Amino acid sequence: MIIGLTEKLKNDFGITFKHPALLDEAFTHASYVNEHPRKKLKYYERIEFLGDAVMQLCVSEYLYKRYPSMPEGKLSRLRAAMVCEDSFSKFAKECNFDEYIRLGKGEEKANARQRPSLLCDIFESFIGALYQDQGKKGVDQFIGQVVFPKLDMGWFDHLLDHKTELQELLQKSGEVAISYTEVTDEGPEHDKQYTMTVSANGTVLGTGQGHSKKAAEQNAANAALKKLNAK
């Protein structure tokens, strides 16, 4: 058993593993197994193979449902930005998973514990263990806490331009005049809340709020996209 890991998962994420041996496998690097041949340990690579595919599906399904009018190309670019070494290593670090990896001495000296590729592997292998222990539902709950909030925190905003998406959608069927109008600004100067509407050929399609005009416009475009798609 890896000391402290089960408590950590329980306290931080409300997760209790039915089969903690899966966690041992998920957090054990091949270099540790090689140094302890008598313990007959398993290392994480097989379980990581599974976890990688689990993440691919869970993220795809979430994006597919959350952005019902987003074209496939944009969905794919967004998925690629979320399901990648850079993102996964950050998620692993945020969960303090680096502290629980069982590493061989050589790898420890080489500072592998902080290597993004290893952190990414551990995030995937943890997901593979969680999937086996608690099914897709358990994984969806965990990444609902750790991964998906990043969309609202702006991590992927460079890929989420709702104004461009709305424009592309509206102009599919010919030329359309799109305009954004400020309705109100409320609150004190340092905490102003703007409300904007977006119109096509004079008809209001959506309203959005935000702490800047730009953010309020993006939210108005997003509201319009949701409405148009629900038709």
- Mind telling me the catalytic residues? 52, 124
Report CA torsion sign: 37, 39, 40, 43.
negative
Q: Token pair 């990043």 is at which residue? A: 150
Of 44, 138, 29, residue with least CA distance to 146: 138
> Of these, 12, 36, 64, 114, which contacts a second copy (CB under 8 A)?
64
Q: Tokens 């500072």 sit at which residue?
A: 111
Site stretch for a second copy (CB under 8 A), options 9-17, 72-80, 179-187, 209-217 = 72-80
Per-residue binding string, a second copy, 157-186, x by CB under 8 A, is ----------------x-------------
Q: Which two tokens stand for residue 5?
A: 């890991």
Q: What are phi and psi of 44, to 5 degrees?
A: -80, -5
The verdict on whether residue 157 carries a ligand-binding annotation is: no
Taking the complex as a whole, the smallest distance from the CB of residue 229 to a second copy amounts, in Å, to 10
Can residue 49 be called a binding residue for a second copy (CB under 8 A)?
yes
The residue within the footprint of a second copy, chosen from 19, 36, 61, 201 (CB under 8 A), is: 61
Full DSSP string of 141-208: HHHHHHTTHHHHTTTTGGG--HHHHHHHHHGGGS---EEEEEEEEES-GGG-EEEEEEEETTEEEEEE
Taking CB under 8 A as the rule, does residue 193 contact a second copy? no
The single residue among 37, 137, 177, 189 that binds a second copy, judged by CB under 8 A, is 37
Give the nearer residue to a second copy in terms of CB position, either 48 or 133: 48
Residues whose CB is less than 8 angstroms from the CB of residue 138 and which lie 6 or more positions away in sequence, other chains included: 15, 130, 131
Give me the half-sphere count of Cα atoms (radius 13 Å) on the Cβ side of residue 36: 14
Which string of b and e fits 30-68 if b means at least 16 CB within 10 Å? ebbbebeeeeebbbbeebbebbbebbeebbbebbeeebe
Which position among 4, 71, 149, 154 is part of the footprint of a second copy (CB under 8 A)? Answer: 71
To the question of whether residue 186 is assigned a binding role by annotation, the answer is: no
- Residue closer to a second copy (CB basis): 18 or 231: 231
Q: Which of 35, 45, 85, 140 binds a second copy (CB under 8 A)?
A: 45
Q: Which stretch binds a second copy (CB under 8 A): 7-15, 41-49, 104-112, 142-150?
A: 41-49
Binding site for a second copy (CB under 8 A): 37, 45-46, 48-50, 52-54, 56-57, 59-61, 64, 70-72, 75-76, 79, 136, 173
Q: Which residues sit in the known binding site for Mg(2+)?
A: 48, 121, 124
